Structures are given as C-alpha cells and as structure tokens.
C-alpha cells in the first residue's frame, strides 16, 4: 500500500512543528505559519518512503501492534518525528508526558478538517516529553472500529497498541494519527513507563463522552 505519510527520515531540530502538524515542508525545513484551528497537514519530503519493514529490533515481530506486543515507535532514522518543545493548551488531551495537541476540539469538530472520514483516517501528532516511554492501547471493546496509525516502518497501518519512546535529548513529536470508523467515543488505555494504565475516553466528532469507557 502507498505510504500515506511521506517519510521525513532523519530528525529535525531547532524548528517548531506547528501544533497538529499543519506546517508545510519547504524543501527540507519545517515552516511555521498556521494555527491549531487549521486543517491538519502532514509534511512531505523528497524521495520515496520505505515500502517494507526496516530490519531492527521490533520489525521482526509479526504481532507487533497488538495489546500484548505494542508497536514500538522510537527516536530513530526510520521514523518520522521532530525534536521540539511541547507547548500545551486547554484544547489538548494530555496524560502525563503524552500530549495530543488540539485533540479535545475534535469532539465538536468537522471530521473532514482532520483527515478522510470515509476511510476513517485522521492525522495528528503525538508529543512525548523528553526521555519518556508511553504506551497507548485501544480498549478491546473498541478494537473493531478504532486503531493507532503511528509507525513509519509499518506504513502507518492501524495498530491496537503502540509504545512511544521519546528522544533522550528533547521532547519528541511523532507523526501519525488515528483510525476511527464513524463518530465515536473511543476508550484508550495509557501507560507511562511500567505504571498501571490510565483509561481515558476520546470523542471523535461525537460530542460529550463519558469520562471512563
């Protein structure tokens, strides 16, 4: 399948990737100039994206992406990410070191502004504080209609669970998004390091949701 998020490859530093990844890529430099209310756009870059898994410690596990074996999203060459300070706001959804910028506004937003509603594909970066590891898993009862579209080496195919490993030298924003069919309240389990998970419920264009799913 074609890569829906063109590869960036090596890390970017010194430039703020605008919230929601709505900045365009001019040649190889991320350019500012939009706000959190703009439609989300994923930066593009010259050159073809990898179409097969890149050999590495996680790519050989056929079950990677399940709740029992989360897909490992790392600070490495074959991942699309940027090292940048996290700038949080009331519109974000934040659990400990993990932030989805502007995701709270999706509850009442227009799905077409954030991706492709027909395909159930929506784009939003996951920002993780320096050196932190955070695992996010879709609750089992939502697995038939929701997934996490992070991981360049997997072609951003939906996974039921991913582990984000931020860079050791700075806050890290990983490019990707969600797979959600229809307007729904999606329960997610978020685990920081080896701590017990926290259950949150995210509204994907479905208005107010219960606090716990």
Mean pLDDT by 10 residues, the chain (213 residues): 49 44 33 35 39 36 78 93 94 98 97 97 98 98 97 96 97 97 98 96 96 70
DSSP code at position 177: E
User: What span, in angstroms and rounded, lies between the C-alpha atoms of 189 and 137?
Assistant: 5
Q: Is residue 156 part of a domain?
A: yes
Longest dimension (CA), the chain: 44
Q: Is residue 157 part of a domain?
A: yes
Q: Is residue 12 part of a domain?
A: no
Q: Is residue 195 part of a domain?
A: yes
Could you tell me how far CA 13 lies from the centroid of its own chain? 19
**Residue 11: its pLDDT value, please?**
52
Q: Is residue 49 part of a domain?
A: no
Q: Is residue 184 part of a domain?
A: yes
Q: What is the model's pTM?
A: 0.74
User: What span, in angstroms and rounded, lies between the C-alpha atoms of 201 and 187?
Assistant: 4
Nearest to 151 by CA among 62, 60, 78: 78
Q: Is residue 26 part of a domain?
A: no
**Residue 211: its pLDDT value, please?**
81
When divided into structural domains, the chain yields a total of 1
**Residue 31: its pLDDT value, please?**
29
Report phi then psi at 107, rounded to 5: -55, -40
Nearest to 131 by CA among 174, 161, 171: 171
Q: Is residue 46 part of a domain?
A: no
> What domain range is 198 assigned to?
61-204
């Amino acid at each position: 399948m074609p890569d829906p998020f063109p590869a960036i490859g090596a890390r970017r530093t010194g430039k703020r990737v605008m919230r929601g990844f709505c900045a365009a890529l001019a040649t190889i430099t991320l350019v500012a100039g939009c706000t959190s209310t703009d439609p989300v756009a994923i930066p593009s870059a010259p050159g073809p994206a990898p179409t097969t898994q890149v050999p590495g410690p996680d790519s050989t596990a056929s079950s990677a992406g399940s709740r029992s074996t989360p897909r490992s999203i790392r600070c490495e060459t074959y991942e699309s990410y940027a090292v940048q300070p996290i700038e949080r706001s009331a519109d974000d959804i934040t659990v400990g070191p993990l932030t989805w910028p502007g995701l709270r506004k999706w509850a009442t937003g227009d799905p077409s502004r954030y991706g492709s509603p027909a395909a159930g594909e929506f784009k939003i970066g996951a920002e993780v504080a320096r050196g932190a590891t955070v695992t996010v898993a879709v609750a089992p009862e939502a697995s038939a209609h929701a997934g996490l579209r992070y991981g360049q080496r997997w072609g951003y195919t939906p996974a039921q669970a991913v582990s984000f490993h931020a860079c050791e030298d700075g806050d890290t924003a990983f490019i990707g998004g969600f797979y959600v069919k229809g307007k729904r309240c999606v329960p997610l389990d978020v685990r920081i390091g080896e701590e017990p998970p926290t259950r949150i419920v995210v509204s994907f264009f479905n208005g107010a949701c219960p606090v716990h799913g």
